[in-house]
Amino acid sequence: MKSIKGKTAIITGASSGIGEAVARKLASEGANVVLAARREDKIRELADELKGSYSAEVLAITTDVTSKQDVEDLVKQTKEAFGQVDILINNAGVMLLSFLKNDMVDQWEQMVDVNIKGVLFGVHSVLPGMLEKGTGHIVNISSVAGHEVMPSSAVYSATKYAVRALSMGMEKELADTPVRVTNISPGAVETELPSHITDEEVQDLFKDMLSGVKPLDSVDIAEAIYYALSQPDHVDVNEVIIRPVNQG
Ligand code: NDP
């Protein structure tokens, strides 16, 4: 296993759920972590907790990933503090499931902006520096919804298929470079994610879909990400699909 001690990792969407768990895991393994999300109070609180628990350096930088300028500033501030970005976890995302007939166009736009453009702005902001330094690992969080489409998940799935397409393209284009790319596709994980759904028809459907399924914990995903990050240099973990045992 390769150590990530002393490496610098940016985690988008670090204010809750999977991003928060990844931040804890990477800090516990000795990485410098940069927490990025819109809720400043949450990332500041997490930064204080991590600084108190581990020897790692932690920064909290308020970031809206739909803003190219914000993401460029996030990377600039990280480089000013730590010199370079070794790891980017493109995790920020929203899952605003709705039926197409209900025409929630503003939510479609938000999902495209956060889930696709947010990932692209991250890649844009770190990849040239990683190629120049000859080291780097980008982890994109897709979903099992990036492998399958359910009623109400058309737009969310479209964004998560797009994330996988970007990961696959990057893997091919970067195969001869030292930069690694990993796509993680989680199934149901217990987080705040579904709490933002406003389509009432979907709220009921979603509960039915997952009845009898015990969702994963965010820590399960953090462990999968750490597995990919800690492989020796000759190993390239391209895709991990991880779901609860009884989620079909
Ligand atoms: P959470 O809702 O707990 O976390 C989502 C994170 O994204 C929050 O930290 C939120 O922070 C951040 N975020 C949302 N919009 C923006 C924005 N515009 N700019 C910056 N950050 C933003 O859900 P999860 O932890 O579950 O989600 C993390 C990722 O995992 C997402 O990409 C999701 O699609 C994916 N996923 C989750 C699954 C699940 O079952 N939970 C299954 C498959 C994939 P803030 O609001 O502070 O900005």
132: CB partners within 8 A, 6+ apart:
none
| 8 backbone dihedrals φ, ψ, rounded to 5° | -110, 125
From 109, 93, 117, 89, select the one nearest 33 (Cα to Cα): 89
Q: Rounded distance, CA 9 to CA 31, Å?
A: 7
Contact 244 CB / ligand 1 (< 6 Å): no
Cβ burial of 113 (10 Å; 0-12, 13-18, 19+) is middle
The predicted-structure confidence for 119-156, as pLDDT tens digits, reads as follows: 999 999 999 999 999 999 999 999 999 999 999 999 99
pLDDT at 246: 84
Sheet holding 58-62, edge to edge: 58-62, 32-37, 8-12, 87-90, 136-141, 179-186, 239-242
Q: Which domains does the chain have, with CATH numbers?
A: 8-242 (3.40.50.720)
Q: Could you list the active site residues?
A: 156
The predicted-structure confidence for 182-225, as pLDDT tens digits, reads as follows: 999 999 999 999 999 999 999 888 878 888 899 999 999 999 99
pLDDT at 2: 93
Ligand 1 pocket, mutate which of 11, 15, 40, 190 (most atoms under 8 A from CB)? 15
Ligand 1 pocket, mutate which of 70, 189, 225 (most atoms under 8 A from CB)? 189
| Stretch among 70-74, 170-174, 206-210, 234-238 having the lowest mean pLDDT | 206-210
Q: Rounded distance, CA 127 to CA 125, Å?
A: 6
| 58 backbone dihedrals φ, ψ, rounded to 5° | -135, 135
pLDDT at 172: 97
Q: Is 218 left (phi over 0), alpha (psi -120 to 50) or beta?
A: alpha
CA nearest ligand 1 atom 6, residue: 13
Q: Rounded distance, CA 207 to CA 197, Å?
A: 12
